[in-house]
């Protein structure tokens, strides 16, 4: 944990730069020490808090590509949703994660980025809380708000670590020795306690965009309750958010991923990206997701990571009623142009001869190594040309843009509530929620009008895909059918957004689904034939050995490695 302690010492330096409205604080070297007087005012406390917010993108000091809070590697590439992409020798850490070739030693790369970066964020939160206790002259309302935001962030970062590593220590503002044990620690009650405290302190709405409020905390609490399988609690919490909260679905599915519609009605929590803000290389944009653009002859030229799997593409096929093939036959043959598909496919995946937003038709030359990682590109993390939100500076500046990255959105909340309704036996309520999401998806199909894009594509030479989506009827809607539909809906609605592996784990489906995936997908992507089998030990990522070594006190390791590693 030494890296956490060392990082905490320089927080004061760049939080002042940040709070002074210069957003390039992450790219500046430390200039020296600041005395307590400089920090002991409301500006100093607010600056500490903003420094804690800054880690919402997951960007650690070493770059943060693998440790992105979007979980495109840990949650998507490690699942049946996506391949690492690019080419065989590029970013070995991501390859190891995709192939389930995890080890305690390899964890010292990208996994240590995740561990150290999120614990650094937690140390910033705790520094904020402690500083707040020493500063006078802050109104009670602001004290409550600041503490509420800090407690929420502490819960959020611990939850991200728990999802990834399972057995983790929990740090609060009273900890002075950061060599804490993970033995006998159940983080979920501690996470929920912090969220409850935040709910009681936060205002119903914030004056500044991007800050968490009471509704954000309630929605997040419901998600944690689902992971804890507290179905009764989740039903109450999420029911309140859906029934009385300020959120709603976007009119069009694509609007969720439109840079001109940041912080729309579906945004519950999002990393606030910005470019052309004074930073030298667009570092405040979507840096941790910057590799996720088409490569080769595309307008982007780099880097071709996070390519959609054939399995995910095939999962979008629909029957004559516009419903998915829940019997499993959806993967019997690969999708071809002309097959009836859920319209969300072409807002999620780049396919040949289908418009790629307003950049033209996706073509074979857009893929870096087609023979290796298949023909599909990621789409949700790419902005539209007409939006004009790219960085003007830095290496490959088009990769850095100001489209926010959702960390929790309303459709996710609705599906979590639907899952709680199923467990409560309220099957009709669950079907209504799922059908509402499917109805929204039906309104956003691409077509000659541009599918609600910034620049419509009116090209008579395009053979548009056949889109169809229906709603689930009451007939046959029993608990088993409802749960299969719910699982499928989460995959399609949230495809390539970093949720998939964590869903499969909590459902108890990971071992069966992912090994079946490897058996079939390896016949299409030969390199997957060398992947390790997904086993019980893969239900938690290994702890970085460097962190275990740093936890030693008097010859005793306070951190204990996860089983199997």
- The tens digit of pLDDT for each residue in 458-468 reads 666 777 788 99
Which domain does 550 fall in, by range? 2-66+109-204+536-557
Same-domain pairing of 434 and 546: no
- Check residue 63 and give its pLDDT: 59
> Per the structure block, which two tokens stand in for 537?
């030990």
Same domain, 510 and 405: yes
Q: Rounded CA gap, 380 and 335, in Å?
A: 20
Average pLDDT over all residues of the chain:
89
The pLDDT of residue 512 is above 60: yes
DSSP character string of 433-488: HHHHHHHHHHTT---TT-TT-SS----TT----EE------STT--HHHHHHHHHH
**Are residue 542 and residue 473 in the same domain, yes or no?**
no
Q: Determine contact, residues 120/55, Cβ cutoff 8 Å.
A: yes
Which domain CATH number covers 428?
1.25.40.390
**CA nearest to 326, candidates 488, 469, 512, 439:** 488
**Mean pLDDT in residue range 504-521:** 98
Q: CB–CB of 310/521 below 8 Å?
A: yes
Which is nearest to 376 in space by CA: 65, 81, 91, 74? 81
Question: Quick one: which of 241, 231, 229, 243 has its CA closest to 426?
Answer: 231
Q: Pick the closest to residue 318 from 293, 343, 282 (CA basis).
A: 343
In a domain, 313, yes or no: yes
Residue 89: inside a domain: no
Residue 458 maps to a domain: yes
Residues 503 and 551 in one domain: no
The answer as to whether 364 is a domain residue is yes
Cα separation, 42 vs 146, whole angstroms: 10
pLDDT at 17 over 80: no
Q: What is the mean pLDDT of residues 545-552?
A: 94
Q: Are 497 and 549 part of one and the same domain?
A: no
Half-sphere exposure at residue 547, Cβ-oriented, CA atoms within 13 angstroms? 32
List the structure tokens of 266: 């579906």
Q: Terminus-to-terminus CA distance in the chain, angstroms?
A: 20
Looking at the fold, whether 117 and 23 belong to one and the same domain comes out as: yes
Peptide bond into 303 cis (omega under 30): yes
Asked whether residue 290 carries a pLDDT value surpassing 70, the answer given is yes
Token reading at 389: 């939100």
Signed CA dihedral, 508, 510, 515, 521: sign only: positive
Is 80 a domain residue? no
**Gap between the Cα atoms of 96 and 76, Å rounded:** 14
Task: Assess whether 493 and 541 both reside in one domain.
Answer: no
Residue with the bigger pLDDT between 250 and 62: it is 250
- pLDDT at position 16: 30
pTM of the model: 0.92
Query: Residues of the chain with pLDDT > 90: what percent?
Result: 72
492, 548: one domain: no
Q: What pLDDT was estimated at residue 437?
A: 98
For residue 446, the model assigns a pLDDT of: 77
**Chain mean position to CA 99:** 20
Distance CA(283)–CA(34), nearest Å, equals 25
Q: In angstroms, rounded to a whole number, what is the distance separating the alpha carbons of residues 375 and 118?
A: 34
| DSSP states along 149-205 | HHHHHHHHHHHHHHHHHSS-----TT--------TT--HHHHHHHHHHHHHHHS-SS
- The predicted model gives 153-172 an average pLDDT of 98
pLDDT digits (tens, 9 = 90+) for 224-264: 999 999 999 999 999 999 999 999 999 999 999 998 999 99
Q: Let me know whether 314 and 449 are in one domain.
A: yes
- Examine residue 542 and state whether it is found in any structural domain, yes or no: yes
Residues 125, 200 within the same domain:
yes
Q: Which residues contact 453 (CB under 8 A, 6 or more apart)?
A: 254, 357, 358, 384, 386, 446
Strands (E), 153-266: none
Task: For residue 300, report the phi and psi dihedrals to the nearest 5 degrees.
Answer: -100, -35
In a domain, 74, yes or no: no
User: Under 8 Å CB-to-CB from 156, ≥6 apart: which residues?
Assistant: 56, 220, 269, 407
Q: Say whether both 171 and 312 belong to one domain.
A: no
What integer pLDDT is reported at residue 165 of this predicted model?
97
CATH of the domain at 148: 1.25.40.890
Concatenate the DSSP letters of all residues of 117-133 into one string. HHHHHHHHHHHHHHHHH
CB contact at 8 A, 152 and 195 = yes
Write the pLDDT tens digit of every residue in 109-118. Answer: 788 999 999 9
Q: How far apart are CA 251 and CA 311, in angstroms?
A: 28
How far, rounded to the nearest angstrom, does the alpha carbon of residue 177 sit from its chain's CA centroid?
31
Out of 88-97, 141-150, 499-508, 518-527, pick the least confident. 88-97
Nearest to 422 by CA among 556, 239, 231: 231
Report the alpha-carbon distance of residue 412 to residue 160 in Å, rounded. 16
CA 427/CA 417 separation, integer angstroms: 11
Count of C-beta atoms within a 10 Å radius of residue 244: 9
The Cα 381–Cα 383 span in angstroms is 7
Instruction: Let me know whether 152 and 20 are in one domain.
Output: yes
Mean pLDDT over 352-378 rounds to 91
Structural domains in the chain (count): 2
Whether 376 maps to a domain, the answer reads yes
């Amino acid at each position: 944990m030494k890296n956490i302690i060392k990082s905490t010492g320089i927080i004061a330096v760049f939080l002042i730069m940040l709070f002074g409205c210069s957003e390039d604080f992450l790219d500046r070297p430390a200039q020296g020490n600041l005395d307590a007087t400089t920090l002991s005012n409301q500006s100093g406390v607010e600056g500490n808090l903003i420094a804690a917010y800054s880690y919402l993108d997951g960007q650690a000091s070493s770059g943060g590509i693998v440790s992105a809070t979007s979980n495109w590697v840990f949650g998507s590439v490690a699942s049946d949703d996506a391949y690492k992409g690019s080419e065989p020798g590029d970013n070995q850490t991501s390859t190891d994660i995709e192939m389930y070739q995890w080890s305690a030693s390899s964890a010292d790369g990208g996994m240590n980025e995740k561990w150290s970066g999120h614990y650094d964020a937690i140390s910033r939160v705790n520094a904020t809380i402690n500083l707040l206790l020493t500063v006078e002259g802050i109104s009670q309302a602001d004290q409550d708000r600041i503490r509420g935001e800090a407690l929420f962030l502490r819960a959020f970062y611990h939850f991200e670590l728990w999802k990834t590593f399972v057995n983790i220590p929990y740090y609060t503002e009273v900890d002075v020795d950061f060599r804490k044990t993970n033995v006998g620690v159940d983080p979920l009650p501690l996470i929920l306690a912090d969220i409850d405290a935040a709910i009681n302190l936060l205002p119903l709405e914030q004056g500044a965009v991007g800050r968490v409020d009471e509704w954000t905390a309630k929605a997040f609490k419901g998600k944690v309750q689902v992971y804890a399988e507290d179905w009764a609690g989740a039903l109450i919490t999420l029911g309140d958010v859906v029934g009385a909260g300020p959120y709603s679905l976007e009119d069009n599915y694509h609007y969720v991923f439109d840079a001109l519609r940041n912080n729309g009605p579906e945004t519950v929590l999002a990393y606030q990206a910005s470019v052309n803000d004074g930073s030298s290389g667009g570092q405040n944009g979507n840096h941790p997701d910057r590799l996720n653009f088409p490569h080769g002859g595309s307008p982007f030229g780099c880097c071709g990571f996070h390519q959609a799997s054939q399995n995910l593409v095939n999962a979008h096929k629909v029957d004559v009623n516009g419903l998915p093939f829940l019997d499993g036959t959806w993967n019997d043959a690969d999708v071809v142009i002309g097959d009836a598909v859920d319209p969300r496919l072409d807002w999620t995946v780049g396919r040949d001869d289908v418009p790629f937003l307003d950049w033209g038709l996706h073509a074979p030359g857009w893929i870096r190594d087609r023979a290796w990682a298949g023909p599909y590109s990621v789409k949700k993390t790419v902005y539209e040309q007409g939006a004009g939100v790219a960085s003007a500076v830095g290496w490959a500046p088009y990769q850095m843009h100001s489209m926010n990255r959702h960390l929790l959105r309303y459709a996710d909340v609705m599906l979590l509530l639907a899952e709680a309704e199923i467990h409560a036996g309220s099957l009709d309520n669950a079907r209504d929620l799922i059908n509402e999401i499917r109805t929204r998806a039906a309104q956003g199909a691409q077509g000659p009008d541009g599918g609600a894009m910034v620049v419509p594509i009116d090209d008579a030479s395009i053979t548009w895909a056949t889109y169809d989506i229906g709603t689930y009827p009451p007939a046959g809607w029993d608990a088993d059918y409802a749960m299969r539909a719910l699982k499928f809906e989460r995959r399609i609605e949230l495809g390539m957004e970093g949720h998939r592996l964590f869903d499969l784990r909590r459902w108890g489906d990971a071992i069966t689904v992912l090994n079946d995936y490897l058996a079939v997908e390896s016949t299409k992507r030969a390199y997957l034939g060398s992947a390790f089998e997904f086993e019980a030990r893969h239900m938690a990522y290994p702890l970085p050995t460097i962190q275990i070594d740093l936890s030693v006190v008097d010859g005793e390791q306070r951190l204990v490695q996860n089983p199997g590693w």
